[in-house]
Amino acid sequence: MSGSLGIKIGTADFVTAADAASGGSERRAPRPQTTQHQATLIMPQGMAPTLSPIGSGTRPAHMGLVVTGFVDRVGDPIDLVAADGSAHRPEKLVASAVQYLTRYSAGVFAGPPTIAATYPSYWQPQGVQALREALDRMDMAGVALVDEVGSILARVESTRGLPSDGAVVVYDLGGNGLSVSMARGTEQIGRTVRSTEFGGKHIDDAILRHVLRGLAGELGDIDLAAPAMLAPLNELRLRGRQAKETLSTETAAVIEVELGPVRHDVRLVRSELEDLIREQVVESAGLVREALRTNDIDAGDVRAVVLAGGSSATPLVAEVLSAELHVPVIAEPDPGLTSANGAALLARSSVSAAPSAPVPPPSMPIPATPPQAPEPPRSDEPVASTPPVAIASADPVAPESTGGRKKVGSRRRRQALLAAAAIATLAAVTIGIVTHTAPKTEPQPAVTEQVTDTPSPAATTTTQLPYPTRHVS
């Protein structure tokens, strides 16, 4: 084996960590090369699917059908139905994304690496098994599947250390929601509690609304809901996200605004961001208390909180959780990479995992950094010959309540409402995969869900990893 590759499967993004060093089962923290891609699958006609790099913007028409929202649908017995009417199995879409990332990362290695991919800790066992079978059908039996909590704990133990006794809270604030899990050492205990009421996209939405409200006077009568404004609004939202990331380490950031004739630099300071999200962060501590109750753990038994997920880098998160639980907060410099780095460590430490051999086709060179539009690899499987659909992904922003007040007599208020309406239509106009209309065989889960951490009886565990984390291979 010539190294290890860790892949984080996330609802908002996929992350790879490629550690080219070889070395058996030595338990050390690798120094991998990392890349991030949006959880947006591009399906060019006649070619294998690819993932959209972070910050790559709107896809041109010739790129093909764009599919989003498939990760959380793994295990659903009903197909995803695309905008062009084609049906897709969610687990096959995730497997296609994993296949693309193994090929994308192949240039880092001198030979076939050992690969481990994390799956969300709140997935049901049937979802894990469905992905396992999809990977096997695509000749990726050598890719080990590991629970995301296990990979987070493995990485943090190797770099920061974990308490030798007591419980640890794993607070994973990702792009689309918050997952809270409990552990002792590197082993998860009990159930993961999940909420989609707070995540990175909600922070991004708050920043975007803040910027648009501040520019209401300059925007005047510009119709932000017009189709021509969708791309600029998407770009502004991306710049707001970048400002959020900057404010994790700096006290101020500048957001460049380009909306129609309006050209403006908006300065955002950390205290303003904290004011925008403080209520949601404080409320998220309630989910931690719920996880403690669910798993019958006394708050006094907690020895530390481990942060994961890119949005947990906001300093306010550590501040609130430390004050709530009165324990140290442990985090990597970039908690958004912790899962993938942990997966690379687990893959490297694996004794019996069979290495994969991802070989990029000659038409897809492997760059040092993610390309803006990588040449898709050719596929051996037939691809539905449907007309390409050019649609870009975006997250909706819920319109703010008017609180029963009249909307007349104020240009600023009118512009703010137009802005909210425009942002709320982004997803409806730009997402390439739509929710199916067929009746569900099971009721939809509530916003907060508790997921058992018990493997499916049908699952097999042939790949032995050195940490006590649930895995299926």
Rounded CA-CA distance 345/447 in Å is: 33
Q: Which residues pair with 256 in a beta bridge?
A: 265
Per-residue pLDDT at 442: 39
DSSP summary character for residue 374: P
Does residue 275 or residue 395 have the better pLDDT? 275
Q: 176: which 2 tokens?
A: 């689309």
Distances in Å between the Cα of 118 and the Cα atoms of 71, 94, 274, 448 are 12, 12, 31, 22
pLDDT reported for residue 254: 97
Q: Who's near 212: CB < 8 A, 6+ residues apart?
A: 219, 224, 415, 416, 419, 423
Decide if pLDDT at 20 tops 90: no
Q: What is the mean pLDDT of residues 142-148?
A: 96
Taking residue 44's Cβ as centre, other Cβ atoms within 10 Å add up to: 18
Q: Are 97 and 51 in contact (CB under 8 A)?
A: yes
**Mean pLDDT confidence for 198-222:** 93
286-299 per-position pLDDT tens digit: 999 999 999 999 99
In this structure, the number of other CB atoms found within 10 A of the CB of residue 385 comes to: 7
Q: What is the pLDDT of residue 198?
A: 96
Residue range 51-67, pLDDT digits in tens:
988 765 555 545 788 89
Strand partners, 216: none
Q: What is the pLDDT of residue 362?
A: 31
Are 1 and 114 in contact by the 8 Å Cβ rule? The answer is yes
- Residue 169 contacts by C-beta under 8 Å, 6 or more apart in sequence? 180, 181, 182, 288, 291, 292, 302, 304, 305, 306, 321, 325
* pLDDT at res. 385: 33
Tokens standing for residue 332 = 């990597």
Residue 228: CB atoms within 10 A of its CB come to 8
Q: Tell me whether residue 280 is exposed, middle or buried, using C-beta atoms within 10 angstroms of its C-beta: 0 to 12, 13 to 18, 19 or more.
A: middle
Q: Is the pLDDT of residue 369 over 90?
A: no
State mean pLDDT over 3-9. 96
Contacts of residue 36, defined as CB under 8 A and 6 or more positions apart, other chains included, come to: 13, 14, 15, 53, 54, 336, 370
pLDDT at 469 over 80: no
User: From CA 428, how far away is CA 273, in angstroms rounded?
Assistant: 27
**Mean confidence (pLDDT) of the chain:** 78
- For position 424, what pLDDT does the model report? 59
* CA 320/CA 116 separation, integer angstroms: 33
Mean pLDDT, range 219-246, rounded to an integer: 91
Q: Are 243 and 255 in contact (CB under 8 A)?
A: yes
The answer to whether the beta carbons of residues 473 and 147 sit under 8 Å apart is no
Collapsing DSSP to helix, strand or coil, 473 comes out as coil
Q: Structure pTM?
A: 0.76
The pLDDT of 160-175, averaged and rounded, is 96
Closest Cα partner for 51 from 38, 61, 67? 38
H-type helices in 199-356, by residue range?
A: 200-214, 216-219, 230-246, 270-294, 315-325, 338-349
* 249 to 269, 270, 316, 441: CA distances (angstroms): 11, 9, 12, 46
* CA atoms within 13 Å, Cβ hemisphere of 292: 19
